Chain A
Amino acid sequence: MDAWDPSYGSSFEGASEADGPASPSSAQVDTDVEVPAAEWAPIDVSPSVRAPSVVFLVDGVRRNDAGLWTSEEDGTSYAGLAASYAAGVVRCDLGKGAASLVGARVARGLFTASPSAGDVQAGSVRYEIHRISGTGEASKLPAAVQAPLTALEIDISAAARDGGSDGTDLLVVDGPLRNRRQLPRTIGYVKTQQKQYLPGPLTAVVTALKPGQRTPVFHLGTVWGGWSWYLRLPGASGAPWSGIVRLECSPDLTPDQAIELAEISVVTLPRFASSAYKDPRAPQNLVPIAGLERRLRGMLGDARVLHRALTLATVRGR
């Protein structure tokens, strides 16, 4: 068991949002999808688009509960990470004015490259072993949590719509879509802009966006690429990149379908924007997502209790 509090080792949050993307991206960008690059200009809300009455928002949270070291028979030792993660879906029924948690799942895992380690039973909870390949340095372990968390998010977002979809609802996934692209009527919601995808003149269009406006849809040619567009949320501070979010949808969609989703996102998302005095990540951190994260973090359980249980479990196992 690593004596250090696990939260010390996980401060790899992105840079401050107001700074804007730092590094230019080398990805292939097709900016002529909706309008030719030369005619790019901010696009206002189209009056004909109606906001969906039901919006699903998916998010996941994770917490590193403890760092561990295994002792192998040959005297070597592998780093291990015990982490809790949870994913949940909020169903915002704007027509009825009710936001509720329609699905949430908590999982815990022990991430290590050790060939001998097994599941850890800590008190009443069980950390399932996730064996990772390679040398398994301690610094690489946190990234390994992401895959099962994403899988959990996909599971839960598919389950959320089991209750019936009227065909007009919208599913917003926190973060890039990546392998969640097969979900229908789904957009990925990217809060922090780390890569600069657009060429210089078009970037000026992004920073010129007024609250509630979006850029035309463009196509990203990366591995996880797809249709994408920028949107400025209301309540921004006035800095060029404040309140800007990038949205993406599955590349399997036709350009028209992508544009339709873009239109819908413009009428839907601004009302979810949070205010600066309540949320340090405002306005990008949407109100339902913030609420969902709070609930999920609550469901992860008390970190101190788990840390204590893990300590006891590992001492006993020695």
Chain B
Amino acid sequence: MIGVSDETSPVGRVLGTADATPLQFWTAVTPGEYLQLDDVVVTKRDLPDREPVTIAGVVTQVRARHEGAQFDSDVFAIAEGTLPALVQEAAEITTTRVDPELYVPPSPGAVVHRATGEARDAALHFDRMERRIPMGTGRDGVPVFLNADFLDGTRGAHVSISGISGVATKTSFATFLLYSVFRSGQLGADGTNARALIFNVKGEDLLFLDHPNTKLDEPTVAAYKGLELPASPFADVRVYAPPRAGDSTGTPDVSSRLTGIDAFYWTLEEFCATRLLPYVFADADDERQQYTMVVHSVTAHLHRHAVPAEGGVSIDGRRISSYGDLVDHIVEQLTDDETRSTWAGSAVNMGTVNAFARRLIGSKRDLSRLIRGDLAQRRPHQIKTAESAQVTVVDLHNLPDRAQRFVVGVTLKTEFEEKEKAGTGRPLLFVVLDELNKYAPREGTSPIKEVLLDIAERGRSLGVILIGAQQTASEVERRIVTNSAIRVVGRLDPAEAARPEYGFLPPAMRQRALLARPGTMFVNQPDIPVPLTVEFPFPAWATRKSESGPPPSDTLRSIVQGADPFAVVGSSDDDIPF
């Protein structure tokens, strides 16, 4: 039962010149009052022999017009003071809740109140949410919540964020949502134990999540307080960056962040043993491509025959210590008539082998810095969220496209396999991935897309939650978008906004999405029939070097020692390192 509290003021009456329906109706606004888009209102309808029905909704359109004017030019006479006319505002209300569920229209003339407090919570279904994660404020400045059931996999999972690059603040919203999950305490132990894996694809803006923001001002702190969140940076962050190209020591390739950062790479041994070769190719699973057969047989061959040898591998007795050497060796073996059949099977013709070889050689430049045979194996270099901090940021922005795909694909595959092995949905793992349309395009197949599809379809039960962002949801694999329980839209491109993927936005909101300001998002969640407009506060963590405060103390560790000495020398007791 939604209460119409006494202190809420009447703002108008249901008007009778337009059809009032149970799902949508118009309200004439009382002179002197106003209603703006997204305001929450409530009205009542008395029924014979039943308790009254309370109809609550949000304002989805407002219009004002001169009543008593016949011609457009009458406005001049009215403004001059010669023609009497009345300015009448009317607001379109889209129903969000009918309580009890008797779908009767509100009667024209019924008083419409502005809903506040409990009535507002009820109208927006917040009262039914057992665990609610604050995700910002509505236009009225009051917190707006996300039902945690649809985020942590209880009833749904995955978030899809769409919007124009630069203005839509997709990544900022994703990180704010994560922050809210970790710090709001609504998920209980799940929230504290949850891990996040964030891929940083553009600039170095996600590398400072654990640095306080020096531009944080009073109103922003107050906004955080209003959401019952502390205004502080992420507490526990570990950043991984690829090694510098051409650098044999494996120093992470970042320019702005100097502390608390580790290099990630794969050793040749891991590359062969865990069958990572298919991830080098963008379309390795595409049945239309002949060479994919070669990819899989070469992968199997490497898996079978590669023997670890001091960082590198040894294949058929030959010592290989770099990715370039490995590629050269594979190409050599494939072009040799004698060895070809042992590597690629017998039924492969030369054209197919050449197609494979061409692509493999092309990958040398992009991947040789990531797949290493010259760096210490035992040094921590793998991205493993279970062993890492609460938030793991993987920096990809310096990598070429192919290398980005490789890192994303392999990392996600590894994480997902770990989860499958563990067989439990806890702890939760949030994966933030921008440019989803690149990794899981609507057309074609690839190993990465398979991993992402797996996450989208099975991740919910395994506790892997994908927070995907993309400029255009229409270009992302449909199954991933449809599996997302929560859809978020920032500013949209006009042509994109007209696509059916945004059908959940009412027409007026679709129009508004074209001019949404940075920091404004439209969030659709399954149990609220109307998307909510959310303004989330400015990040409390630094988003670039210039606004970052002092780094947290524990990251200073990496200045003194880039790697754990015990890990480097090995932990076996009989080995005396000094």
In the complex, the answer to whether B84 meets A288 with C-beta atoms within 8 Å is: yes
In the complex, the answer to whether A99 meets B70 with C-beta atoms within 8 Å is: no
Cβ-based interface call for A195 (8 A): no
Expressed in whole angstroms, the Cα–Cα distance for A290 and B77 within the complex equals: 12
Q: Report the minimum CB–CB distance from B417 to chain A (whole Å).
A: 73
Cβ-based interface call for A318 (8 A): no
The segment from A4-12, A87-95, A241-249 found at the interface with B is A87-95
A288-B83 contact in complex given A278-B70, A278-B71, A294-B70, C-beta closer than 8 Å: yes
Which of the residues A95, A101, A288, A295 comes within 8 Å of B82, measured between beta carbons?
A288
In the complex, the answer to whether A295 meets B80 with C-beta atoms within 8 Å is: no
A90-B84 contact in complex given A278-B70, A278-B71, C-beta closer than 8 Å: yes
- Chain A interface mostly: mixed
Expressed in whole angstroms, the Cα–Cα distance for A101 and B85 within the complex equals: 8
Cβ-based interface call for A272 (8 A): yes
In the complex, the answer to whether A287 meets B77 with C-beta atoms within 8 Å is: yes
Which of the residues B79, B82, B86 comes within 8 Å of A287, measured between beta carbons?
B82
Expressed in whole angstroms, the Cα–Cα distance for A43 and B373 within the complex equals: 109
Cβ-based interface call for B78 (8 A): yes
Expressed in whole angstroms, the Cα–Cα distance for A278 and B83 within the complex equals: 13
Cβ-based interface call for A316 (8 A): no
Expressed in whole angstroms, the Cα–Cα distance for A70 and B79 within the complex equals: 50
Which of the residues A93, A95, A96, A291 comes within 8 Å of B83, measured between beta carbons?
A291
* Residue of A with least CB distance to B81: A97
As a 0/1 sequence over residues 99 to 124 of chain B, the CB contacts with chain A under 8 angstroms (1 = contact) are 00000000000000000000000000
Q: Report the minimum CB–CB distance from B362 to chain A (whole Å).
A: 74
In the complex, the answer to whether B85 meets A291 with C-beta atoms within 8 Å is: yes
Cβ-based interface call for B68 (8 A): yes
In the complex, the answer to whether A99 meets B71 with C-beta atoms within 8 Å is: no
In the complex, the answer to whether A295 meets B81 with C-beta atoms within 8 Å is: no
Cβ-based interface call for A292 (8 A): yes
Cβ-based interface call for A308 (8 A): no
Cβ-based interface call for A100 (8 A): yes
In the complex, the answer to whether B82 meets A294 with C-beta atoms within 8 Å is: no
Expressed in whole angstroms, the Cα–Cα distance for A99 and B79 within the complex equals: 8
Expressed in whole angstroms, the Cα–Cα distance for A278 and B77 within the complex equals: 12
* Residue of B with least CB distance to A95: B81
In the complex, the answer to whether B80 meets A100 with C-beta atoms within 8 Å is: no
Which of the residues B71, B82, B84, B85 comes within 8 Å of A271, measured between beta carbons?
B82
In the complex, the answer to whether B84 meets A292 with C-beta atoms within 8 Å is: yes
Contacts of B68 in A (CB 8 A): 291, 294-295
Contacts of A97 in B (CB 8 A): 79-81
Expressed in whole angstroms, the Cα–Cα distance for A44 and B80 within the complex equals: 24
Expressed in whole angstroms, the Cα–Cα distance for A98 and B80 within the complex equals: 7
A94-B80 contact in complex given A278-B71, A294-B68, A294-B70, C-beta closer than 8 Å: yes
In the complex, the answer to whether A295 meets B79 with C-beta atoms within 8 Å is: no
Contacts of B79 in A (CB 8 A): 97
Contacts of A94 in B (CB 8 A): 80-82
Q: Report the minimum CB–CB distance from A105 to chain B (whole Å).
A: 15
Expressed in whole angstroms, the Cα–Cα distance for A218 and B548 within the complex equals: 89
Interface members, chain B 26-71 (any A CB < 8 Å): 68, 70-71
Interface members, chain A 222-247 (any B CB < 8 Å): none
Contacts of A90 in B (CB 8 A): 84
Expressed in whole angstroms, the Cα–Cα distance for A99 and B84 within the complex equals: 5
Q: Report the minimum CB–CB distance from A57 to chain B (whole Å).
A: 9
Expressed in whole angstroms, the Cα–Cα distance for A174 and B145 within the complex equals: 61
Contacts of A288 in B (CB 8 A): 82-84
In the complex, the answer to whether B82 meets A272 with C-beta atoms within 8 Å is: yes
Expressed in whole angstroms, the Cα–Cα distance for A287 and B75 within the complex equals: 12
Contacts of B82 in A (CB 8 A): 92, 94, 99, 271-272, 287-288
Which of the residues A95, A96, A278, A295 comes within 8 Å of B84, measured between beta carbons?
A295
Tally chain B residues at the interface, Cβ within 8 Å: 15
Expressed in whole angstroms, the Cα–Cα distance for A90 and B85 within the complex equals: 10
* Residue of B with least CB distance to A298: B68
Contacts of A99 in B (CB 8 A): 78, 81-85
In the complex, the answer to whether B81 meets A96 with C-beta atoms within 8 Å is: yes
Interface members, chain A 91-117 (any B CB < 8 Å): 92-101
Q: Report the minimum CB–CB distance from B482 to chain A (whole Å).
A: 50
Interface members, chain A 62-98 (any B CB < 8 Å): 90, 92-98
Q: Which of B68, B78, B81, B84 lies at the interface centre, i.e. has the most chain A CB atoms within 10 A of its CB? A: B84
Interface members, chain B 275-322 (any A CB < 8 Å): none
Expressed in whole angstroms, the Cα–Cα distance for A288 and B77 within the complex equals: 9
Expressed in whole angstroms, the Cα–Cα distance for A287 and B74 within the complex equals: 9
Expressed in whole angstroms, the Cα–Cα distance for A33 and B82 within the complex equals: 32
Contacts of B86 in A (CB 8 A): 101
Interface members, chain A 167-220 (any B CB < 8 Å): none
In the complex, the answer to whether A98 meets B81 with C-beta atoms within 8 Å is: yes
Expressed in whole angstroms, the Cα–Cα distance for A92 and B74 within the complex equals: 15
Expressed in whole angstroms, the Cα–Cα distance for A295 and B82 within the complex equals: 14
Expressed in whole angstroms, the Cα–Cα distance for A96 and B86 within the complex equals: 15
Q: Report the minimum CB–CB distance from B108 to chain A (whole Å).
A: 14
* Residue of B with least CB distance to A101: B84
Q: Which of B68, B77, B81, B86 lies at the interface centre, i.e. has the most chain A CB atoms within 10 A of its CB? A: B81
Q: Report the minimum CB–CB distance from B124 to chain A (whole Å).
A: 38
* Residue of A with least CB distance to B77: A287
As a 0/1 sequence over residues 279 to 307 of chain A, the CB contacts with chain B under 8 angstroms (1 = contact) are 00000000110111011000000000000
Contacts of A98 in B (CB 8 A): 81
Contacts of A295 in B (CB 8 A): 68, 84
Contacts of B71 in A (CB 8 A): 278
Which of the residues B73, B74, B77, B84 comes within 8 Å of A100, measured between beta carbons?
B84
Contacts of A291 in B (CB 8 A): 68, 83-85
Q: Report the minimum CB–CB distance from A207 to chain B (whole Å).
A: 27
Expressed in whole angstroms, the Cα–Cα distance for A298 and B85 within the complex equals: 13
Expressed in whole angstroms, the Cα–Cα distance for A287 and B78 within the complex equals: 10
Expressed in whole angstroms, the Cα–Cα distance for A309 and B566 within the complex equals: 97
Contacts of A278 in B (CB 8 A): 70-71, 73-74
Q: Report the minimum CB–CB distance from A56 to chain B (whole Å).
A: 11
Q: Report the minimum CB–CB distance from B138 to chain A (whole Å).
A: 35
In the complex, the answer to whether B81 meets A287 with C-beta atoms within 8 Å is: no
Expressed in whole angstroms, the Cα–Cα distance for A97 and B83 within the complex equals: 10
Expressed in whole angstroms, the Cα–Cα distance for A292 and B86 within the complex equals: 11
Contacts of B77 in A (CB 8 A): 287
Interface members, chain B 303-352 (any A CB < 8 Å): none
Q: Report the minimum CB–CB distance from B17 to chain A (whole Å).
A: 11
Q: Report the minimum CB–CB distance from B77 to chain A (whole Å).
A: 5
Contacts of B73 in A (CB 8 A): 278
Contacts of B80 in A (CB 8 A): 94, 97, 271
Expressed in whole angstroms, the Cα–Cα distance for A272 and B83 within the complex equals: 9
Expressed in whole angstroms, the Cα–Cα distance for A272 and B70 within the complex equals: 16
Expressed in whole angstroms, the Cα–Cα distance for A99 and B81 within the complex equals: 4
* Residue of B with least CB distance to A295: B68
* Residue of A with least CB distance to B82: A287
Q: Report the minimum CB–CB distance from A301 to chain B (whole Å).
A: 13
Contacts of B70 in A (CB 8 A): 278, 294
* Residue of A with least CB distance to B80: A97
Contacts of B81 in A (CB 8 A): 92-99
Expressed in whole angstroms, the Cα–Cα distance for A271 and B80 within the complex equals: 10
Expressed in whole angstroms, the Cα–Cα distance for A292 and B78 within the complex equals: 12
Q: Report the minimum CB–CB distance from B4 to chain A (whole Å).
A: 27
Q: Report the minimum CB–CB distance from B15 to chain A (whole Å).
A: 14
Expressed in whole angstroms, the Cα–Cα distance for A295 and B81 within the complex equals: 16
Given A97-B80, A291-B68; 11 other pairs, CB 8 A cutoff: A92-B81, A92-B82, A94-B82, A95-B81, A97-B81, A99-B83, A278-B73, A288-B84, A290-B83, A291-B83, A295-B68
Can you show 18 pairs from A to B with CB atoms below 8 A apart? A94-B82, A97-B81, A98-B81, A99-B85, A101-B84, A272-B82, A278-B70, A278-B73, A278-B74, A287-B82, A287-B83, A288-B83, A290-B83, A291-B68, A291-B83, A291-B85, A292-B84, A294-B68
A residues in contact (CB < 8 Å) with B: 90, 92-101, 271-272, 278, 287-288, 290-292, 294-295
Top-7 shortest CB links A-B: A97-B81, A99-B84, A291-B83, A90-B84, A291-B84, A287-B82, A99-B81
